[in-house]
Amino acid sequence: MLLDEDPERAYAHASYARRKASRVPGVREASGVAAYTVGKWQEALSDLRAARRMSGRDNFLAIMADCERGLGRPERALEIADDPAAKDLDVADRIELRIVASGARRDMGDAKAALAELRVPELKERRARPWIARLFYAYADVLEELGREDDAREYFSRASAVDSDGVTDADERLAALEGMELIDYDAEDGIVWTDVEEQESPEEARPSNGGRDHQDRD
């Protein structure tokens, strides 16, 4: 998909389409999403508001809320998260909105409230889906910030277990909590870990022939 492979080019295409058909809801939505992807928060917000007015669709509330965060307005992000239409979103969009709301709470310096935003029934979910991996990961991230490392470890582990699409770096975060570091990955052998405390010092690790240390760190 062009938006994933080349966001700037996708944005250029969407901007052109917007200039030609600004009253088409789908065009404004696509333009807004493309602008969001390249960090043009105000432009994205304007397009998505227009798309919502024209189409009556609410499935991009999470993106709109995240744009408000990007603009330094977490309070407005929370207002969007509390929009009555949010209760009718499908589960994936609803979870994304809760994740954004949690982030807004953290922007405001309230990690406990951020955790509360993520206490939803879907925390009991076990099936591998991108949105559930992101929920577990966000929950673990706040737990770690609150100093609850054992609980954070549990939810990073859950995120890793259901993250079949690799949408998070839960493996690396879990390893860090265990005092390990991911240094290599082999498609046949799987993940290779090393104990951080047992790694060589920079002087010991420097190649004697002046070559480069080419360990892969993802």
Task: Report pLDDT for 54.
Answer: 97
* Averaged confidence pLDDT in the chain: 86
Report the b/e string of 174-188 with b at 16+ CB within 10 A: bbebeebbbbeeeee
Task: Report pLDDT for 184.
Answer: 55
Is 128 a residue whose pLDDT tops 70? Answer: yes
Whole-prediction pTM: 0.81
Which of 159, 96, 98 minimizes the C-alpha distance to 126? Answer: 159
Higher pLDDT: 159 or 3? It is 159
Phi-psi region of 166 (alpha: psi -120 to 50; beta: other; left: phi over 0): left
Answer CATH for 1-57 from 3.40.50, 1.10.3470, 1.10.20, 1.25.40: 1.25.40
**Domain ranges, ordered by start, for the chain:** 1-57, 180-218
Task: Report pLDDT for 5.
Answer: 75
Task: Report pLDDT for 182.
Answer: 59
Which pLDDT tens digit goes with each residue over 192-216?
555 554 444 444 443 334 333 333 3
Which class for 47: exposed (0-12), middle (13-18), buried (19 or more C-beta within 10 A)? buried
